[in-house]
Amino acid sequence: MTNQIELAIQDDYPDDFAHCYGCGRLNQDGYQFRTGWDGGKTLTMYTPKPEHTAIPGFVYGGLIASLIDCHGTGSASLALHRKNGHEPGDGAEPPRFVTASLQVDFMKPTPQDVTLRAVGVPEEIHPKKFQVHTEVYAGDTVCAKAVVTAAVMPASFTSKK
């Protein structure tokens, strides 16, 4: 089982797009999620902090939704980057995605003190849109199942800057 993501897509985002609270490597207050390939699937790992609780002993659903959100956009970026002939770390700038929709089914209470593994299968549904089917594991248990629809970041997102 992979316990470390060596080449994450977020490592290659340009600095301007590296401030996301979920997955921005330059956001010191955020989660700094990192997403890479693990075989033919995508993987994001995170160990929730003690404060990320729903009730004592169980992880807060909003943290799980956040993990799924950034895992979704990161996975879509990995998939389109690969389609374009690139892999993380090869020096090419990856495409950035935004979340169009997020569907999460919470299957089981998620125990704390466990590293969560979001495992995804990205599927192209349009040249600029991917669906990422994700399962979040705590150990061998699937605690959440999700579908993220991610779209290539529109120009309106960057025009404000």
For the bound state, the minimum distance from the C-beta of residue 40 to its own copies, rounded and expressed in Å, comes to 26
Return the number of the residue (13 or 137) whose C-beta is nearest its own copies. 13
Residues 130 and 74: their CA atoms lie apart, in Å, by 11
Angle, vertex CA 128, rays to CA 75 and CA 17, nearest 5? 55
Helix (H) or strand (E) holding 44: strand 41-46
CB of 39 or CB of 56, closer to its own copies: 56
Residue from 158, 151, 32 nearest 101 by CA: 151
Site membership for its own copies, residue 155 (CB under 8 A)? no
DSSP secondary-structure letter at 10?
A: G
Largest Cα separation within the chain, whole Å, is 46
Q: Which region among 34-42, 98-106, 115-123, 134-142 touches its own copies (by CB under 8 A)?
A: 98-106
**Among 9, 43, 45, 63, which residue interacts with its own copies (rule: CB under 8 A)?**
63
Binding site for its own copies (CB under 8 A): 16-17, 19-22, 24, 27, 29-30, 51-58, 60-63, 65-67, 69-70, 98-106, 109, 156-158, 160-161
